[in-house]
Amino acid sequence: MSAVIDGELSAVRASRLGWDVPTGNVLERECAGQTGLLEPADQSTSRAGGVEGAGEVSRTQQLITALIVFGPFLGALIAIPLLWGHYVNTTDLVMAAIFYVIPVLGMTVGFHRLFTHRSFKANRPLRIALAVAGSACIEGQVTTWVATHRRHHRYSDVEGDPHSPHRFGTGTSSILRGLVFAHVGWLFVTDSTSAERYAPDLLADRDIRRVDRLFPVIAAVSLLLPFVIGYGLSGTLGGALGALLWAGLLRMALLHHVTWSVNSICHTFGGRRYATRDKSTDVAILAVLSMGESWHNGHHARPSCARHGAVRGQLDISAEVIRLFERLGWATRVRWPAAEPELAVDDSSCTLSEGFE
């Protein structure tokens, strides 16, 4: 693994912020679970990401981001008045559910728990399928997504975190401003994350490189396919547009805002069972739509565990899908929480399924 933290830079930052930054490989520390447990910095002087960015986000990238963020809403505002009462039916809603669930699980099970934290090992067909499904969320390439998230865990809610809602301070106006920033604002700032530094394993993975190159095609297909299916089922342009509206635009908008809510809401509101050194929280109301990702405090307490909702009553659909893959033999070396995970705030509370080396 080629990504090595600059020792001098880390030492300076550690001295200034008052916490220790171990030297060595970023990826090895991230996957060992040494993430999300850094002491919060003084937010009045923090400039999250200012020293960690790999360079500026181009104007073209910002325009594409704006299209992805605001495009579904604008399209829906135009389409809903035209189609309301005419082309909304059960088929559209079923399609919307399918086109929501599959990409979200590709992101939660694939992008997050497999590729970012190595919570389990997947066979090659499953790895590729999860990478493609997650790319259909249209939240960026696998490598870019993973690099950003590993950086978030390394600097959670302190300087260097790409999307902390506590970036601007603790006052009411500062928190509101931070929520907007953590939700969508961070997508537009000129502070990209280095994949060479945070995701060298994925850059070296031939299959992932191919999926990354195909990202524009996958994104386009995820929106065009509902239109084509809608036309095939109804035989009318109105039926095709209705399917595009519900299974394309509105599905995409809901998916994005649920994901971004984990960045914003799940670092501001909710319960904290674990005394992590960041401000991560558990938000039950988002558990179903996020497929278990909103048990965020539990995740930050044990980043590499396959189950985020480790306490009885915490529904974690993504973990159940991983368990199904394990039973089918498609996933191995799964890191499951110990019997009483609430007693620990580190990955030593994760046990490994049989066959883990």
The pLDDT of residue 184: 87
The pLDDT of residue 239: 86
DSSP assignment, residue 193? -
Q: What pLDDT, in 10s, does the model give residues 325-345? A: 999 999 999 999 875 545 445
Long-range own/partner contacts, residues 294-298 (CB < 8 A, 24 or more apart): 294/261, 294/262, 294/266, 294/270, 296/262, 296/266, 296/267, 296/270, 297/266, 297/270, 297/271, 297/272, 297/273, 298/273, 298/274, 298/341
Pair 224, 217: CB distance under 8 Å: no
- The domain spans of the chain are 7-35+56-158+166-352
pLDDT score of 256 more than 90: yes
Query: Cα(182)–Cα(187) distance, rounded to whole angstroms?
Result: 9
The pLDDT of residue 238: 84
pLDDT top residue among 61 and 309: 309
β-bridge mates for residue 4, sequence order: 25
Q: What pLDDT, in 10s, does the model give residues 274-320? A: 999 999 999 999 999 999 999 999 999 999 999 999 888 999 999 99
Average pLDDT over residues 71-83: 65
- Other residues' Cβ atoms within 10 Å of the Cβ of residue 235: 9
Cα–Cα nearest to 13, from 45, 56, 59: 45
Cα 103 from chain centre: 12
pLDDT grade, residue 60 (50/70/90)? low
The pLDDT of residue 189: 79
Query: Cα(330)–Cα(324) distance, rounded to whole angstroms?
Result: 9
Q: What pLDDT, in 10s, does the model give residues 198-255? A: 999 999 999 999 999 999 999 999 999 999 999 999 998 888 988 998 999 889 989 9
Cα 90 from chain centre: 30
Query: Cα(13)–Cα(19) distance, rounded to whole angstroms?
Result: 8
How far, CA to CA in Å, does 166 sit from each of 46, 138, 178, 273, 282? 9, 26, 6, 20, 17
- Greatest CA span in the chain, whole angstroms? 66
β-bridge mates for residue 282, sequence order: 271, 295
β-bridge mates for residue 336, sequence order: 351
Average pLDDT, the chain: 80
Pair 290, 259: CB distance under 8 Å: yes
Average pLDDT over residues 33-47: 35
Q: What angle do CA 103, 112, 69 make, to 5 degrees?
A: 55
Question: Environment class of residue 300 by beta-carbon count within 10 Å: exposed (0-12), middle (13-18) or buried (19+)?
Answer: buried
Query: Cα(311)–Cα(342) distance, rounded to whole angstroms?
Result: 7
Q: Give SS3 for 331.
A: strand
Average pLDDT over residues 21-46: 36
> What is the signed CA dihedral for 344, 347, 349, 350, rounded to 10 degrees?
150
Question: Environment class of residue 328 by beta-carbon count within 10 Å: exposed (0-12), middle (13-18) or buried (19+)?
Answer: exposed
Query: Cα(116)–Cα(144) distance, rounded to whole angstroms?
Result: 11
Query: Cα(184)–Cα(76) distance, rounded to whole angstroms?
Result: 19
In the structure encoding, which two tokens stand for residue 36, read together? Answer: 């999300």
* Residue 282: CA count within 13 A, CB half-sphere: 21
In the structure encoding, which two tokens stand for residue 334, read together? Answer: 């799964």
Which helix H or strand E contains 13, and what residues bound it?
helix 7-17
